[in-house]
Chains A and B, each alone.
Chain A
Amino acid sequence: MIGFRRLVLVIIDKEWVMRRVSVKVGFMCIALGGVLFISGCQSTGINEGVFGSDNLYGDPLIADIPLNDLDGLPTNGDRTLFAPVQFAYDSSALNPSQAVICEAVASHLRVRGGVILEGHADERGSRDYNLTLGEQRALAVRAYLIELGISPSQIQTRSYGEEKPANENHDETAWSENRRVEFAIY
């Protein structure tokens, strides 16, 4: 990933020198190419879906918007409306190919209701650490929803850590299904 980012920078510099006027268009093409490139890399081996520690989506400053008080908040919702978004091992970076799910959720929330973002981790690692990892995954989705214009008052997070696996097996397939954020819509 580091190498790829450097490459993008170099290309942007070239574009800047060659065609100042269309720099914006060029950058968008490169960004689109980048998304396709990253999506294309997904099925390759152990680092599948690893996007480094930076979240491609979600402004870090959104991490300063406080969460809602729990009093009077619903504690349950419908999890069947949207598929969960999935994450790489020990990562809370939102995968570009999964961002489209968040965009669908945002469209729904623009009309009505609210959502509990339920963060989960796979069974590897300590239960304590997985609890905060699940929370950070839920918060990454929250940041993107806020960026898409959804009010923070419509969003609550709830981390289950490794305590509620979607798939009870102990293999790579189960683990990748379990590293997820579910949308409980109310």
Chain B
Amino acid sequence: MIEVADKKRVLSRAFSGAPVATRALAHRVSDALVLAVSGKSGMASARLAIVGNQSGYKELYVCDADGANLRQVTQDRSIVVAPAWMPDGKNILYTSYKQGYPNIYRTGQREAVSKFGGLNASAAVSPDGRKMAVILSKDGNPELYIRDVRTGSLQRVSSTRRANEASPCWSPDGSQIAYVSDSAGRPHIYVLALKGGSPKRLSRTGSENVAPDWGVNGQLTYCSRQAGRYRIVVADPRTGVSRVLPLDGADYEDPSWMPDGRHVVVSRSVNYRSSIYLLDTQEERSISLKEGAGDWFSPACSRHY
């Protein structure tokens, strides 16, 4: 690839792959071109974990960033909740009831990752792969814990007897966690520095602020209920400045950053039917990725730190 203006070579690289892998190859080429031109990561090679109910159960599926190449991952005939990619971009953590109680499982592993009494949910592994943030109620109330992945030792992070914690996610450098707590009466987004100090509330408006995701661009996205609708917010955790994406009258929930730091994948509901959409947070446009054949929800995008 040559830049026309100064005839400078921008990209010169050969790509090869098996004939059956032409899609994956095209995605790699596309990401390489985006990186060469803009200096930013592309999103074409990213993969999505989504939950679908077309079988009558809630099973885990994966597909390409454009919604194609759908593959069913679980066949548990149970309920899958809140899938999240491991930082290796290969395995997925999720909550399932396949053994009767809500425990946390990892794809490719039969034994539960976490199966304490009560709730085991919202597992999120740190970018370096060493720690897992998780919501457990084993000590009598839903609280945020951090587990050492290697030793299994648990550190309790929150102590709110009268409140819930949910949905932890890690900052790209692994030094902070954003999560949901209703300790102020309504669910809001809080940011906690792991080196110490008290959690800082980030969301100010909206009757519900849930499902945060921290992108490699340093920005947080979350779902906020505003004027009766669920909308997507992009917020800078350093300044607290936030922006509500002005979309149509549908409900948008569960945002997950694409690796390009510009797009988010969301679930979009109209008349209580849910599908997967891609939102451009700059141009404020959206396109459908996965629609029809049942409901699709809880999208999570793979990421490489």
Give the residue name and chain of the B residue nearest to A92 (CB): B164
User: Mask for B151-165, Cβ within 8 A of A = 1, else 0?
Assistant: 000000000011111
Q: What's the least CB distance linking B305 to chain A, in Å? A: 22
Contacts of A164 in B (CB 8 A): 79
Q: What's the least CB distance linking A176 to chain B, in Å? A: 17
One of B102, B115, B297 near A131 (C-beta < 8 A): B102
Whether B210 and A128, one on each chain, are in contact in the complex, defined by CB atoms closer than 8 angstroms, is yes
Whether B119 and A132, one on each chain, are in contact in the complex, defined by CB atoms closer than 8 angstroms, is yes
Whether B81 and A161, one on each chain, are in contact in the complex, defined by CB atoms closer than 8 angstroms, is yes
Whether B166 and A75, one on each chain, are in contact in the complex, defined by CB atoms closer than 8 angstroms, is no
Whether B162 and A70, one on each chain, are in contact in the complex, defined by CB atoms closer than 8 angstroms, is no
One of A54, A75, A128 near B101 (C-beta < 8 A): A75
Say yes or no for B142: interface residue by CB 8 A criterion.
yes
Contacts of A170 in B (CB 8 A): 272
Say yes or no for B275: interface residue by CB 8 A criterion.
no
Contacts of A135 in B (CB 8 A): 118-119, 137, 142, 164
Say yes or no for A66: interface residue by CB 8 A criterion.
yes
One of B95, B139, B180 near A129 (C-beta < 8 A): B180
Say yes or no for B203: interface residue by CB 8 A criterion.
no
**Residues A157 and B100 in contact in the complex (CB < 8 Å), given A63-B140, A139-B137:** no
Give the residue name and chain of the B residue nearest to A170 (CB): B272
Contacts of A55 in B (CB 8 A): 162
CA distance A128 to B103 in the complex (A): 13
Give the residue name and chain of the B residue nearest to A68 (CB): B117
Contacts of B180 in A (CB 8 A): 126, 128-129
Say yes or no for B138: interface residue by CB 8 A criterion.
yes
Q: What's the least CB distance linking B227 to chain A, in Å? A: 14
User: Mask for B201-221, Cβ within 8 A of A = 1, else 0?
Assistant: 000000010110000000000
Say yes or no for B121: interface residue by CB 8 A criterion.
yes
**Residues A126 and B223 in contact in the complex (CB < 8 Å), given A67-B117, A75-B101, A159-B119:** yes
Whether A136 and B82, one on each chain, are in contact in the complex, defined by CB atoms closer than 8 angstroms, is no
Q: What's the least CB distance linking A162 to chain B, in Å? A: 10
Residue of A66, A67, A129, A164 with highest tally of chain B CB at under 10 A: A129
Whether A127 and B81, one on each chain, are in contact in the complex, defined by CB atoms closer than 8 angstroms, is yes
CA distance A70 to B136 in the complex (A): 13
Residue of A67, A92, A160 with highest tally of chain B CB at under 10 A: A67
User: Mask for B179-213, Cβ within 8 A of A = 1, else 0?
Assistant: 01010011100000000000000000000101100
Whether A60 and B142, one on each chain, are in contact in the complex, defined by CB atoms closer than 8 angstroms, is no
**Residues A67 and B210 in contact in the complex (CB < 8 Å), given A60-B162, A139-B137:** no
Whether B208 and A127, one on each chain, are in contact in the complex, defined by CB atoms closer than 8 angstroms, is no
Q: What's the least CB distance linking B222 to chain A, in Å? A: 9
Q: What's the least CB distance linking B81 to chain A, in Å? A: 6
Say yes or no for A147: interface residue by CB 8 A criterion.
no
CA distance A70 to B141 in the complex (A): 16
Say yes or no for B122: interface residue by CB 8 A criterion.
yes
Say yes or no for B260: interface residue by CB 8 A criterion.
no
Contacts of B61 in A (CB 8 A): none
Whether B208 and A128, one on each chain, are in contact in the complex, defined by CB atoms closer than 8 angstroms, is no
Say yes or no for B47: interface residue by CB 8 A criterion.
no
Contacts of B142 in A (CB 8 A): 132, 135-136, 139
| Sample of 16 A–B contacts (CB below 8 Å) | A63-B161, A63-B162, A73-B117, A90-B186, A90-B187, A125-B187, A125-B208, A126-B167, A126-B223, A131-B102, A132-B165, A135-B164, A136-B142, A139-B118, A157-B137, A163-B81
8 smallest CB-CB distances across A and B, nearest first, come from: A75-B100, A67-B117, A126-B210, A132-B164, A132-B142, A135-B119, A67-B118, A63-B161
Residues of A near any B CB (own CB < 8 A): 53-55, 60, 62-70, 73, 75-76, 90, 92, 123, 125-129, 131-133, 135-136, 139, 156-161, 163-164, 170
Residues of B near any A CB (own CB < 8 A): 58, 79, 81-82, 95, 97, 99-103, 115-119, 121-122, 135, 137-142, 161-167, 180, 182, 185-187, 208, 210-211, 223, 225, 253-254, 272, 297-298
Given A126-B210, A132-B165, A136-B141; 4 other pairs, CB 8 A cutoff: A65-B140, A67-B118, A69-B117, A131-B119
